[in-house]
Structure 1
Amino acid sequence: MTATAPVAVSDLDPFSTDFLHNPYPAHAALRDAGAVVRLERYGIWATARHAEVRAALHDPEAFCSSAGVGMADFRKEAPWRPPSLLLEADPPEHTRARRVVAGVLSAAAMRRLADTFEAAADEMVAGLADGRTFDAMPELAVRYPMRVFSDAVGLPSEGRENLLHYARMVFNTFGPRNELFTTAIAENASTREWIMDHCRQEKLAPGGMGAEIHTRAAAEGFTPDEAAMLVRSFLSAGIDTTVHGLGNALLCLAQHPGQFALLRAEPDRARAAFEEVLRFEAPVQTFFRTTTRPVELGGTTIPAGEKVLLLLAAANRDPRQWESPDTFDISRRATGQVGFGFGIHACVGMAMARLEGEAVLTALARHAAGIEHDGPPRRMLNNTLRGLESLPLRLTTPS
């Protein structure tokens, strides 16, 4: 191996329980260690700095996705499920698949959904703003996207909980074959069957986004089975990331009452506030890429065929990019945060996630005078996602 700079080496384990509970000190250590670091435990490369993460995401030719966006290298081992035609593909195949799904999630489509999403958020938040204690994860952060997303896709009411279990499993399998990985696979056989069955066109409501994916996919020359796989990609990314984005937003606003007071005084800041949540407490913490050739990143030459861990959440708190990065500030212009990825593989559903986040935060500003903890939050551990299992809160009402 030839390197243009000394190779920084670390024994940190980004998938350990301690790391997953509180990644931020380790993120700082990795950023300080170097622009690119060799993680000895797994024999992989990692970057935690914003400039290098963004550069890798912007260069899909050198940092490919088709070998898997998790630690597993699909060129060396069989994936546990057929690879995603969207997330785990490179151009030109990825371009054709993304065109199908992006067409379904157009700006015009989001405008058509806005009134429905806003009304549902207003109804749910108003129902919780009565001074009682509630668990914000199942009662709002899960319940809201499960309803509006599933309705928009055209899924039946029965069995929607499988969406949450499936997405959590998928994101766990992007890590190493640790306990989180193996438990997720072992516990979710029936979930996988439900998802694949309900990705078929005949199981999706006419006029919904799932049915539209099938129509657009057929026009692009995809087979019905391939169209179902595109729906599967949509389902795996459409719930858990938003669930934990909303949960993290509620946590941040409860922990920073001055910021909620600012949001309440200026509800038009709801979109910017959700963007700051995605920067400050990114629901998607990491993704992998694989080098297709020797490539220079941050002054280090990484050989071909190497796995590179992109620490999105660490990049989002890089002091080289952000002033006071460890401060939650909804007046910040968080444009450039990479919580949704960047480049051709940027989250295709980010417009819908932002619509949901803005709707819920606007409703909170309208109906609550304050957001208070009423018990300790309980963290959900996942190899890729950062979120909560439980968040006991109380919404104080305006006097």
Structure 2
Amino acid sequence: MTTTAPATTICPRSDFDVYTDSALLDPWPGYRELRDAGPLVHLDRYGMFAATRYDTVSHVLRTPEVFPSGEGVMMNDEMNQVLRGNTLCSDGEAHDASRRVIARPLTPKALRPLHDEIRAEARGLVDRLTARGSFDAAGDLAHHLPVTIVSNLVGLPEEGRERMLVWASEMFNCFGPMNERTQRSLSVLGEMMEYATTQAVPGKLKPGSWAEAVHDAAARGEVDPGKCPVMMIDYMGPSLDTTIFAISSAVWLFAENPDQWDLVRENPSLVPSAINEVLRMEAPIQDFSRSVAVDHEIDGVLLPRGSRVIAFYGAGNRDERHYPDPDRFDVTRNPTDHLGFGAGPHACVGMNLARLEMRALFEALAEKVTRFEVQHSERALHNILRGFTRLDVTVH
């Protein structure tokens, strides 16, 4: 893909706005337009380059020496400054050190003792909801495990914890360009940072919790104690909304594709493959950005040092150059290389937990539900996240 030869292709330019309401609610036509235009497209409205093809997105995410995260991964300078130094916005040994601490309770081995608890909680929830016959798959179903299980494991003080869902959503909204949505969310981000600094501290955290372990690691010298507040954000945000949106998107996809739900019901071993396909089709996080550290060529297009490229995970996941018939939901596809969790050194640290929660829920649903029927839906209008704020379903 890349060479050291001089760039030979003029980068296509576009005035397409990927952050309008209509584009966010239905991004696929715009993504296709950008993919067809070239491996990189300059978005004139934002002064950044767009990477929308699978190979280009994957290359950006897997080449941190060219596309570092230390300058921030958001699409505005203010947020890049606020979160600089947390696990998401760091590189090299600083990133590795904080990631080791954050990831410790999230490895497959560390999560193994939680399997039975999560499965039991999922079964109980599914039993209650299916007995009702109808429910909100976003609020009643998708929120339950992340809120009840994860928030308890993180171990934040009860006071203010009920704001975690709001904080998580608004934090991600602030990742976008400095549009009206970002500006509205900045005040909520300040509230979140205040909580992380004054409440998520030793003496107020649940003993033995993930959050307390961060402070313990700092006390041992594994990470800079000054980074503890921004490291708390790694637990307070990504552990909630991304999984919630993935679960609601899965229900919606199964409602729209009942033949695929039949396949899962007939063969529950397809659940992991189905989860991968959900994450490919409806990536909960649609895009992050990277700065460009050195002049770099991709397929003949030169990215100049000091520029910024937005890696559109959702677009790469629908690239027909990589996935045949990419707009078809196929639970037998098992796209293990999807970009729904990102890729490279900054791949989602909580992916194992998200898979565990989703698998528990959909294995339980496969035993109880023959059909999902959507009665009413409301998509989140969000700069970065994709999913539903409401998804009323009837189950049979």
Instruction: Report the equivalent of 1:357.
Output: 358
SS in 1 for 2:131: coil
SS in 2 for 1:147: helix
SS in 2 for 1:360: helix
* Distance (whole Å) between structure 2 residues aligned to residue 236 and residue 132 of structure 1: 31
Aligned pair 1:40/2:83, yes or no? no
* Cα distance, 1:187–1:232 mapped onto 2, change above 3 Å: closer
Instruction: Report the equivalent of 1:204.
Output: 205
TM-score w.r.t. length of structure 1:
0.93
Query: What are the within-5 Å matches in structure 2 for residues 187-266 of structure 1?
Result: 187=188, 189-266=190-267
* Distance (whole Å) between structure 2 residues aligned to residue 233 and residue 244 of structure 1: 17
Q: How many residues align?
A: 391
Q: How far off is 1:240 after superposition?
A: 0.8
Does the 8 Å CA contact 2:284/2:387 hold for their aligned counterparts?
yes
Letter in 1 for 2:291: T
Letter in 1 for 2:214: I
Aligned pair 1:24/2:14, yes or no? no
* Cα distance, 1:166–1:58 mapped onto 2, change above 3 Å: same
Does the 8 Å CA contact 1:65/1:87 hold for their aligned counterparts?
yes
Does the 8 Å CA contact 1:17/1:381 hold for their aligned counterparts?
yes
TM-score w.r.t. length of structure 2:
0.94
* Distance (whole Å) between structure 2 residues aligned to residue 114 and residue 62 of structure 1: 39
Structure 1 unaligned blocks of 5 or more: none
Does the 8 Å CA contact 1:146/1:160 hold for their aligned counterparts?
no
Q: How far off is 1:293 after superposition?
A: 0.8
Does the 8 Å CA contact 2:167/2:188 hold for their aligned counterparts?
no
* Cα distance, 1:356–1:319 mapped onto 2, change above 3 Å: same
Does the 8 Å CA contact 2:274/2:334 hold for their aligned counterparts?
no
Letter in 2 for 1:209: W
* Residue of structure 2 aligned with 1:14, choices 15, 18, 38: 18
Letter in 1 for 2:278: V
* Distance (whole Å) between structure 2 residues aligned to residue 198 and residue 33 of structure 1: 48
SS in 1 for 2:341: coil
Instruction: Report the equivalent of 1:303.
Output: 304
* Cα distance, 1:122–1:195 mapped onto 2, change above 3 Å: farther
Instruction: Report the equivalent of 1:124.
Output: 125
Query: What are the within-5 Å matches in structure 2 for residues 66-81 of structure 1?
Result: 66-73=70-77, 79=80, 81=82
Query: What are the within-5 Å matches in structure 2 for residues 1-399 of structure 1?
Result: 3-73=7-77, 79=80, 81-157=82-158, 159-187=160-188, 189-375=190-376, 377-396=377-396
* Distance (whole Å) between structure 2 residues aligned to residue 151 and residue 365 of structure 1: 27
* Distance (whole Å) between structure 1 residues aligned to residue 61 and residue 341 of structure 2: 11
Aligned Cα root-mean-square deviation (Å):
1.8
Q: How far off is 1:48 after superposition?
A: 0.4
SS in 1 for 2:115: helix
Letter in 2 for 1:383: N
* Cα distance, 1:275–1:218 mapped onto 2, change above 3 Å: farther
Q: How far off is 1:266 after superposition?
A: 1.2
SS in 2 for 1:308: strand
Q: How far off is 1:3 after superposition?
A: 3.5
* Distance (whole Å) between structure 2 residues aligned to residue 262 and residue 143 of structure 1: 26
* Distance (whole Å) between structure 2 residues aligned to residue 131 and residue 372 of structure 1: 14
Q: How far off is 1:82 after superposition?
A: 4.2
* Distance (whole Å) between structure 2 residues aligned to residue 47 and residue 66 of structure 1: 19
SS in 2 for 1:372: strand
Does the 8 Å CA contact 1:197/1:203 hold for their aligned counterparts?
no
Does the 8 Å CA contact 2:72/2:83 hold for their aligned counterparts?
no
* Distance (whole Å) between structure 2 residues aligned to residue 341 and residue 79 of structure 1: 18
Does the 8 Å CA contact 1:274/1:361 hold for their aligned counterparts?
no
* Distance (whole Å) between structure 2 residues aligned to residue 111 and residue 127 of structure 1: 25
Letter in 2 for 1:55: H
Q: How far off is 1:50 after superposition?
A: 0.4
Task: Give every structure 1 segment of 4 or more consecutive aligned residues whose post-TM-superposition deviation is greater than 6 Å.
Answer: none
CA offset digits 1:311-364 (Å, max 9, x no partner): 100000101110111001111121110111111010111111111111111111
Q: How far off is 1:81 after superposition?
A: 2.6
* Distance (whole Å) between structure 1 residues aligned to residue 336 and residue 366 of structure 2: 22
* Distance (whole Å) between structure 2 residues aligned to residue 78 and residue 166 of structure 1: 14
* Cα distance, 1:82–1:53 mapped onto 2, change above 3 Å: closer
Does the 8 Å CA contact 1:70/1:287 hold for their aligned counterparts?
yes
Does the 8 Å CA contact 1:104/1:213 hold for their aligned counterparts?
no
Letter in 2 for 1:354: R
Q: How far off is 1:193 after superposition?
A: 2.9
* Distance (whole Å) between structure 1 residues aligned to residue 123 and residue 304 of structure 2: 52
* Distance (whole Å) between structure 2 residues aligned to residue 160 and residue 327 of structure 1: 39
Letter in 2 for 1:236: G
Q: How far off is 1:43 after superposition?
A: 1.1
Does the 8 Å CA contact 1:130/1:395 hold for their aligned counterparts?
no
Q: How far off is 1:248 after superposition?
A: 0.7
Q: How far off is 1:189 after superposition?
A: 4.5
Structure 2 unaligned blocks of 5 or more: 1-5
Does the 8 Å CA contact 2:74/2:80 hold for their aligned counterparts?
no
SS in 2 for 1:358: helix
Letter in 2 for 1:51: D
CA offset digits 1:94-152 (Å, max 9, x no partner): 11111111222222111111111111111111111025321111111112211111122
Q: How far off is 1:367 after superposition?
A: 1.8
Over the matched positions of the two proteins, sequence identity in percent amounts to 37
Does the 8 Å CA contact 2:12/2:42 hold for their aligned counterparts?
yes
Letter in 1 for 2:93: P
